[in-house]
Amino acid sequence: MASAVFTPAQPKGATGILVLADGSVIWGRGFGATGSAVGEVCFNTAMTGYQEVMTDPSYAAQIVTFTFPHIGNVGANPEDIESKVEGAVGCVVREHVTRPSSFRSASDFIEWMAANGKIGLAGVDTRALTRRIRMAGAPNAVIAHEPSGKFDIPALLNRAREWAGLEGMDLAQRVSRSKAEGWEGGAWTLGKGYARSPRDSRPHVVAIDYGSKDNIFRNLVRAGARVTVLPARATLDEVLALEPDGVFLSNGPGDPAATGEYAVPVIKALLERDVPLFGICLGHQMLALAAGAKTVKMHQGHRGANHPVQRVGEGWGETTGLVEITSMNHGFAVDADTLPEGVEQTHVSLFDGSNCGIAISGKRAFGVQYHPEASPGPQDSFYLFEKFVGGLG
């Protein structure tokens, strides 16, 4: 069902709606869960991996617009879930969801969305919506699905306008584990599923969970680590009590400055003790804040599996200048102009020149803004896990 971003009249058969805080109304056909949800509307350019995207905690309080038109065509299955905690609240797609065509499918996407409380809106001109986000920034909105087609638009608009938005919001605590746990999962293989993680004399990585994707921990295991995961608000004493060989700082949602209120003091103390550190996405931003840099809200953010990143740091030797195609999901970024002396920029985005990596001089600490674990996405950047774990011996 085609719809226009600025057409408030309800088309025949419309059972779903997206109401933007500026008063724009987008109609479509609802699917998945019924009801309504508020969040920031973003867009993702990946051509596959929609289930991993929808279950990534970094998308908490967000409504994902998929630019690839055929979402749902491979169904859903329990192996491709990145986290069982909160992810995206809903999604907007171009084509109506059809029956899956994949031998791995355990259910269709509509059933999976409904079972997981996520609202979908199909039949939308996603190209027009994406262009609007690119020009005007990511808006706050309410997505709603009601089979009767009856909506209280003024109430939905008020809800969108009253929502505070992601800036200043700490969401890490909402999606983090509540207690420590030993990570058990290893690499996935077709027909065998996920391997078990050996609990042997491997280097011990303590991972702080700000809203982590499970595939990050699997890649740490694949690189040769033994992993223990702690909640976002873990104290320095709790981290050190586990006698880590290195500490990993995970991805996660929300404003890094807000999460940094409790995370940065712990990371600063770890830096002072020269504990090896590796941060991804929000973890990268936490490391930058601990080193004295600042973060900023981006106009539209980076979300997709086709983002080119170039190595620019001096420490890469012959590979300096090499370009990696990466998976990204972030609406905040480290402000490269605020990097203090002793903090080197190691990677930059070739889309807009924004910071994508740092290393701290004299410390065994580095971070990247993108997602080297992929899932979904290319695997150009797995070397980062090997770099971290390999340096813990």
Tell me the catalytic residues: 281, 371, 373
Question: In whole angstroms, what is the distance from residue 97 CA to residue 101 CA?
Answer: 12
Which amino acid is it at 107?
S
* Total residues found in the chain within this entry: 393
- For 162-203, strand residue ranges (E) read 181-182, 185-189, 193-196
Strand pairing class (25-32; 35-44): unpaired
Question: In whole angstroms, what is the distance from residue 89 CA to residue 24 CA?
Answer: 20
Three-state secondary-structure class, residue 52: helix
* DSSP annotation string for 286-342: HHHHHTT--EEEEEEEEEEEEEEEEE-SGGGGGGTT-EEEEEEEEEEEE-GGGPPTT
Question: In whole angstroms, what is the distance from residue 145 CA to residue 4 CA?
Answer: 18
Residue 209 CB contacts under 8 Å (≥ 6 apart), including other chains: 176, 177, 229, 230, 231, 232, 250, 252
Question: In whole angstroms, what is the distance from residue 238 CA to residue 76 CA?
Answer: 37
Q: Give the other-Cβ count within 10 Å of 180's Cβ.
A: 16
Alpha-helical segments (H) within the chain: 50-54, 109-115, 126-136, 153-162, 172-175, 214-222, 236-241, 256-272, 282-290, 383-390
Three-state secondary-structure class, residue 90: strand
Question: In whole angstroms, what is the distance from residue 178 CA to residue 8 CA?
Answer: 43
Any idea of the CA torsion for 117, 118, 122, 125, to the nearest 10 degrees?
A: 160
- Identify the DSSP state of 117: T
